[in-house]
Chain A
Amino acid sequence: MRWFAVLIFAAALGGCGGGGSEGAAPAPGGAGYADPTSYSAAPDAALATASERAAITSHAITLGGRSIAYTATAGHLTARDPVGGAAQASLFYVAYTADGAASATRSIVYFYNGGPGSASVWLHLGSFGPRRIVTNDPSIEVPTPYQLVDNAESLLDTADLVFVDAVGTGYSEAIAPSTNQTYWGVDADARVMRNFIARYAAVNQRAGSPTFLYGESYGTTRSAVLANLMVTAGMRLDGVVLHSSVLDYNANCGLFDPPTVSCAGYLPSYGMMGAWFGLVTPPPTDATVWAQQLRDFADAQYAPAVSAFLAGATPPSTSLIDELIRHTGASHTLWSSHFNLDPTSYRSQTLTGQLMGRYDARIAVPAASALAAGGDPSSSVIGAPFAAAQRAHLQNELLYTSASNYTMLSNAIATWGFAHDGRTLPDTIPDLATAYAQQPTLRVLSMNGYHDLATPFRQTELDLRRMGSNVPGLQIKVYPGGHMTYLDDGSRPLMKADLVRFITGITP
């Protein structure tokens, strides 16, 4: 790691706490921003006033043999209502910007996770920022203490990167008289994020820069709504990266209990897992070919049978059950009792005595173990390392300190306003299609992991296909890996290469 902290701004704001650093670099000399504000993720919480102070530090990273000097900015900006200018919320962000780049031509990417209620720490420290946690995914042997390393796959050689926390996550909070709850709904959340981006762009003279959104999971729901808001408002938007999408809540059977909608969009993912665990005979030799066979089988045979089953409980044929067993490795008992097979049943009843992960189903542990207790071993294994690394990264490398806890995951989901566009649950394909209708030059890159049982790749493809089979500017990519596909050391370089081509506008 080569970085050196130089104080550019906020010099008089007092020393950073330093603090314990499990495996991180020693605290540099100088001082950052000791933020005196207390932040809360409670639904009724609000700040009385907000400041736009930030800690600003200088660093360097070598990417592709080239040393890039960059500035990290960690602090808050105030999102304001474009009509009337009322302050709405103080959003916490960390921006990494290459020094000396021409801002008019330098691309900028805004990253956020989802939840709703999740801070953007997973993308910030796991994906394409300049610093990355070593996870050894899909092994459960995450190094301890955590290791934070320079990220050879950082996109900083291609674009400036802004990681922003939604209201009521991280250190982001509403400003009175609104409360966090004011922004805990599909439309209000997208609007306040639009207003944050407008503020960031105005303060940093980036309104004219090629602009991209990178949302993950619920962040893709946000992105579809936000893209249409930005295009409608005339803000520059060149492209949207949809990572592990949930574009239509009404179509993802894993969200329902019991599964009242078709699980056919999950079938190819079950088949990829069957192959991973050696349950498919003969073993597939090429993942891409196998995935296509699974899509074809699901479309031609499983999906119509599930539709008939859901419509009138028409029992499946014996030959179809045999085909399902052959394609997925799940048992006759499971397919017979759960013909519309939901991911929770598949994860818990396919490997004897073991539970597969939801985010990364390649991570399977004994069902009675501590890692299985939370319901998703692949989530349990990375939670604590990310929390510890985020705290140390902010304090010791970015010199931003707060006495408040950084909220990794709030309870926003319990009171979230999921209603959108006349429906109880959001379907955001019409938002994306409306953004396209208003700006046909918009580009979209969809990325999924083959081994994700939260937002399965085939469901994303089916959702996007509703816009037509040939949408110019839409690319769909699938990689080995889970929901946080970038944690896979083999897939992250592939994703980086595809992202560079996407951002620079090179058509594959």
Chain B
Amino acid sequence: MTRAMNRGILVSMIFATAGAAADPMPQGGDPVLPPALRQQAPTQPSPTGGALQAKVEEKLKEAFDAADVGRQATLTREQAARAGWAMVVRDFDRIDAARSGRVSFEDIRRYVRARSAAR
């Protein structure tokens, strides 16, 4: 718990290195917000528990809608692959419990919920 400090050494160090450095002196700014955002108060609580789970499913629904370019409310394995959604491609047969060749968002939600409950 000592806080020994030699101010003579310290002062000479600061001037010596500051003079030698060509780069701008970095300031400790991580994390910080710019003034306009710093003065705003967050307006909503961050989701937790069931609300967090709902938010996760909302994010999965966004991914689903982005992949469902034809607005058919179902995806084939190929459509999921074209959208770069690897989980659906990899686990397609398990998500597609009815073996219909197409999965709905409800199928995906059921699959993710079951896996979360099992872990």
Interface 1/0s, chain A 253-295, versus B by CB < 8 A? 0011100110000000000000011100000000000000000
- Which residues from chain A contact B110 at a C-beta distance below 8 Å? none
Smallest beta-carbon distance B112→chain A, Å: 5
A248-B46, A278-B1 given as contacts; is B52 within 8 A of A467 (CB)? yes
Q: Residue B116 at the A interface, CB < 8 A?
A: yes
* A115 B9 Cβ-Cβ under 8 A: no
- Which residues from chain A contact B56 at a C-beta distance below 8 Å? 430, 433-434, 437
Smallest beta-carbon distance B100→chain A, Å: 22
Interface 1/0s, chain B 55-67, versus A by CB < 8 A? 1100110010000
* B38 A387 Cβ-Cβ under 8 A: no
Smallest beta-carbon distance A390→chain B, Å: 8
* Bound form: Cα–Cα A233–B42 in Å: 31
* B119 A472 Cβ-Cβ under 8 A: yes
* A233 B48 Cβ-Cβ under 8 A: no
* Bound form: Cα–Cα A261–B33 in Å: 15
Total chain A interface residues with beta-carbon distance under 8 A: 92
Q: Residue A217 at the B interface, CB < 8 A?
A: yes
* B59 A358 Cβ-Cβ under 8 A: no
B71-104: which residues lie under 8 A (CB-CB) from chain A?
A: 84-87, 89-90
Q: Residue A364 at the B interface, CB < 8 A?
A: yes
Q: Residue A180 at the B interface, CB < 8 A?
A: no
* Bound form: Cα–Cα A191–B40 in Å: 27
* B31 A430 Cβ-Cβ under 8 A: no
Q: Residue B70 at the A interface, CB < 8 A?
A: no
Q: In the complex, what residue of chain B is closest to A386 when comparing beta carbons?
A: B26
A385-B17, A466-B47 given as contacts; is B30 within 8 A of A454 (CB)? yes
A232-B87, A427-B46, A430-B59 given as contacts; is B25 within 8 A of A371 (CB)? no
* A249 B17 Cβ-Cβ under 8 A: no
* B25 A383 Cβ-Cβ under 8 A: yes
- Which residues from chain B contact A468 at a C-beta distance below 8 Å? 49
Q: Which of B25, B34, B42, B87 contacts A416 (CB 8 A)?
A: B34
Q: Which of B1, B28, B34, B112 contacts A358 (CB 8 A)?
A: B28
- Which residues from chain A contact B28 at a C-beta distance below 8 Å? 358-359, 374-376, 378-380, 383, 454
* A409 B29 Cβ-Cβ under 8 A: yes
- Which residues from chain A contact B38 at a C-beta distance below 8 Å? 255-257
Q: In the complex, what residue of chain A is closest to B44 when comparing beta carbons?
A: A423
Total chain B interface residues with beta-carbon distance under 8 A: 59
* B31 A232 Cβ-Cβ under 8 A: no
* B23 A387 Cβ-Cβ under 8 A: yes
Q: Residue A7 at the B interface, CB < 8 A?
A: no
* A388 B41 Cβ-Cβ under 8 A: no
A384-B18, A418-B33 given as contacts; is B5 within 8 A of A234 (CB)? no
Q: Which of A114, A375, A414 contacts B30 (CB 8 A)?
A: A114
Q: Residue A305 at the B interface, CB < 8 A?
A: no
Interface 1/0s, chain A 359-392, versus B by CB < 8 A? 1001011000011001110111001111110010
Q: Which of B23, B39, B60 contacts A437 (CB 8 A)?
A: B60
Q: Which of B22, B44, B48, B90 contacts A234 (CB 8 A)?
A: B90
- Which residues from chain B contact A333 at a C-beta distance below 8 Å? none
Q: In the complex, what residue of chain B is closest to A384 when comparing beta carbons?
A: B17
* Bound form: Cα–Cα A255–B33 in Å: 6
* A384 B21 Cβ-Cβ under 8 A: yes
* Bound form: Cα–Cα A235–B21 in Å: 40
Q: Which of B3, B17, B59, B112 contacts A144 (CB 8 A)?
A: B17
15 A-B contacts, Cβ less than 8 Å apart?
A114-B31, A232-B84, A232-B87, A234-B89, A246-B31, A248-B46, A250-B42, A370-B11, A371-B10, A383-B26, A391-B23, A409-B26, A413-B29, A430-B55, A466-B47
B residues in contact (CB < 8 Å) with A: 1, 3-6, 9-14, 16-18, 20-34, 37-44, 46-49, 52-53, 55-56, 59-60, 63, 84-87, 89-90, 112, 115-116, 118-119
A residues in contact (CB < 8 Å) with B: 22, 82-83, 113-118, 139-142, 144-146, 216-218, 221, 228, 231-235, 246, 248-252, 255-257, 260-261, 276-278, 358-359, 362, 364-365, 370-371, 374-376, 378-380, 383-388, 391, 405-409, 413-414, 416, 418, 421, 423-425, 427, 429-431, 433-434, 436-440, 454-455, 463, 466-468, 472, 483
Query: Which 10 interchain pairs have the tightest Cβ spacing?
Result: A234-B86, A379-B28, A260-B41, A384-B17, A250-B42, A408-B26, A466-B48, A144-B13, A376-B28, A409-B26
